[in-house]
Each structure stands twice: as C-alpha cells, then as structure tokens.
Amino acid sequence: MMFRLALLAALFAILAPRSEAAPTNFVLIFCDDLGYGDLGCYGSPTIRTPQIDRMAAEGMRFTDFYSAAEVCSPSRAALLTGRYPIRSGMVPGPMGKRVLFSQSKGGLPASELTLASALKAKGYATAHVGKWHLGTREGHRPSDHGFDHSFGLPYSNDMDGRPDLPKGSASSPTPPADGWNVPLIRDGEIVEQPADQTTLTKRYTEEAVAFIQAKEKGPFFLYLAHTFPHVPMFASPAFKGKSRAGIFGDAVEEIDWSTGRILEALRQSGLAENTLVMFTSDNGPWLTQGAQGGSAGPFHEGKGSTWEGGMRVPGIAWMPGRLSPRVCQDPVGALDVFPTFLAMAGVSTPGRITIDGTDLSPVLFEGKSLPDRPFFYYRGSELYACRIGEWKAHFQTRSAYGPDKGETHEPPLLFHLGQDLRESRNLAAQQPEVLAKIAAAVQSHQSGVVPGLPQFD
C-alpha cells in the first residue's frame, strides 16, 4: 500500500503542470562620481573594497562600461530610460546649465518611460533610495516616474549651501557638517533638514535592506543611488579616518560595506539566485576636487569631459547560479540596463519609443559577445565623440571644467583604445576607412534624433 502511494505521488509530481519560474528581481546600485580607479577590483592600491571585489569575482566585471553622459542629471535620465539624454531634453538650454539645481523648474519629462514605470506595470514593487537629481516639481519626482517608495536627497549634496560657506570648503579635508541645508525626503515629505550627511550611506543601506526583506515574495526593483563619493565628502564614525585615501576613501569603503549588506540581505532572504544586481557610477571622478576627486585609473581627464576618464566607469553584474564569473571586454554601458531589465522581466518596449541601449542577456548568461555598435559621447546636446569597436573618434574636445571654449577637429582625432588608453596617439591619417565608417554611423544616428525640450534652464 505504501509503495503504491509513493508511486502515485511520484507520477503526480511528474505529470502535474509545473509553476512558472518566479520573476527576476532587480537591484541597481548607482554611485556618484566614483572613478574607474577607485575600487580594488579596478586597480586602486589604497581603497579597500573587499565586498565589491567579491561581487566582481562572483559575477561579471566589465572593463569597458560607460555612463551615458559626462555629468549626473543627464546620466541618471539615460540610466532609467535607456535613451541618450538629448532625446528627453535632459541637456542644457541657452543658459548653459549642465545639471538640474535646487531651484530648477524642469526635470525628467513625465512622458518618458522609466524602468520603474515599466516594471511597476508588470506587477513589480519599486523603490528609489538615495539621490534623485531628476527634478523636484510635479511631474518630475520619483513618484511621478513609477516609484512606489522613495527615500533620499532630491539633488546633489553640495546644493543648498549655507550663504556664508567659505569658497572651496566642499572639497576641503574637513568640510563643515552643518554647511548645507539639503533636505532628506521620504515619499514627498521632508523628514530632516539639513540632512545629517554623516549618516546617509548607513540609512540608505538600512532602507534598502528593509525593502528587500519586505518583498521576499517579489518581484521588486530597487534603485539605490548613493550620494557619495560626491563632494562634500562624509562618512559615519565607523569609517571616518580609516582609509589610506583620506575622507574620499572613507566614503568609498562605506559604500563597499553597504554593497556587502545588500548582497547578504539577498542571500539571507533566499533571493540571490533570482536577483540581478548591477553596480556602476554616473560619471568619472571629479578631478577638480583634488584629494576628494577620486581616480580615473589609466584614463585621461574625468567628470565633465568626453575623454575616457569622464565616462568610462566601473560596471559589475552579479547573479549567483545564473551568471558565470568572468571579465567582459565588450563595450557596454548604462544605456543597456533598461532593455536588459525589461527583457528579463518579459516587458515589451513600446514601438513608439527609440531605445539606444541593447539587451545584455546573451552577454550575461550565454557567454556571447555583442557585434560592434556605435557609442556616442555627448556633452550636453553636442556630440563630441563616437566609438565603434576599438576605435574612438573625437569631433570636439574640451576640458571638463576649464575656461577654454573647446576645439573642433577636422579630420577628427582617432585613437585605438585597445592600444592607447590615454588617447594620446592620433591615427587619423593612417585610418581614413575607420573615420568613414564612424562618420556614416554618426550621420545615421543624428538623422533619427529628435531633441527634447531642454530642461536644465
């Protein structure tokens, strides 16, 4: 009798319809002004990042990962929409402002489809934790773009500065903790002003972990956008003064701790194997801030420029059991996050929307490489450079924040990035066919770009 019951149970298990696999969860960790050379797994000899290094060892570390813009507001818009910022109008207008400010009336237009909006429509719980910087007025806030829950700063931590704040204090070795009046906001309501910036990374982490633990049954999308290492630099007492790299290193090492806590929360909740975690930065290091400016590693220039140091940033993907550990040299970037997440969630992108990124699922899970495709380096609304394969052409060059007006190059400067990381050996004269290929890609791209109304002025 017992044998028959066991046999029937086994047959039922085989014949019974199987439930569909649980939807994939997504965690997107986005740092502010973290440079290519600021993590141990990317070559930093002084900043200890064991948790992020472990994440890279267990996952996929990208050597050629790009932000979609050279400064923060447009970069964040592109990350959440998969579109170059010029399409959404997240670019300067006549006044030339390069990002949104505390008094700005504009922001990411309500007409833009964001990751949060698309995933929410699929039944995902969505949360934004950390810096927003995509607008503070109605139509531009996290709740207007698909986030069920939001906790963090509305813009950069150096805005709302005290009127009597000494010039240069934001990047001084010991910036005054009470020098800024930036608010900390939960779901549209100010809960603290000024925000205690020494506690931000810790509180963001606690908020993120609580969200993960509350959503164990999923599916969910968590966007954790750290305030640091953007100046002014702060760290909690547990990390302050502990890094060889000064307060900048302290802030990065606390982000490393935070990343470890997020991954551990996923493991403890049994969600690690079903959650794709992406870690990256909004742009390169802010080199004009001296010791608080970070490192671009082997690359030229930093934040604010379209040289490699301004837009090539750390990029790590982690999904244990699904993603085989390796280093990927394919050029990929923030624009690819949107189509990758949506494809994995089974969400179709509306045909009326032009998406500039590519689904990275074949790269992540099948070990495939992407075919060569153009990547366009914008500075605001102007196209400064284009990369295809190993070749990068500069049509214009300009220092990140200097007084120069920039220089137009005809023919363009041409560099082989595989052999010339510093972009110092111009090979334009020897490679006219490469320039012709890039010129054709630029013409095709620009013919399909309809600029949005500029938002920053």
Looking at the annotation, which residues are catalytic? 72, 133
The one-letter code for the residue type at 390 is E
Nearest to 126 by CA among 103, 149, 142, 108: 149
- What count of residues does the chain have? 457
Cβ atoms of 6 and 284 within 8 Å: the answer is no
Provide long-range contacts, Cβ within 8 A and 24+ apart, for 381-390: 381/86, 381/91, 381/92, 381/451, 381/454, 383/442, 383/446, 384/306, 385/306, 385/412, 386/438, 386/441, 386/442, 387/331, 387/417, 388/434, 388/437, 388/438, 388/441, 389/331, 390/416, 390/417, 390/418, 390/419
The one-letter code for the residue type at 226 is H
Cβ atoms of 325 and 62 within 8 Å: the answer is no
Cβ atoms of 222 and 259 within 8 Å: the answer is no
Measured over the CA atoms of residue 75, residue 81, residue 82 and residue 83, the dihedral's sign is negative
Q: Which two tokens stand for residue 354?
A: 């032009």
Q: Residue 250: how many CA atoms within 13 Å on its side-chain side?
A: 21
Identify the DSSP state of 404. -
If one counts every other C-beta atom within 10 angstroms of the C-beta of residue 381, the result is 18
Beta strands 60-66 and 125-130: pairing type? Answer: unpaired
Whole-number Å distance between alpha carbons of 119 and 114: 9
Q: Secondary structure of 328-370 in the HEC alphabet?
A: ECCCEEHHHHHHHHHHHHCCCCCCCCCCCCCCCHHHHHHCCCC
Query: Residue 300: exposed, middle, or buried by beta-carbon count in 10 A (0-12, 13-18, 19+)?
Result: middle
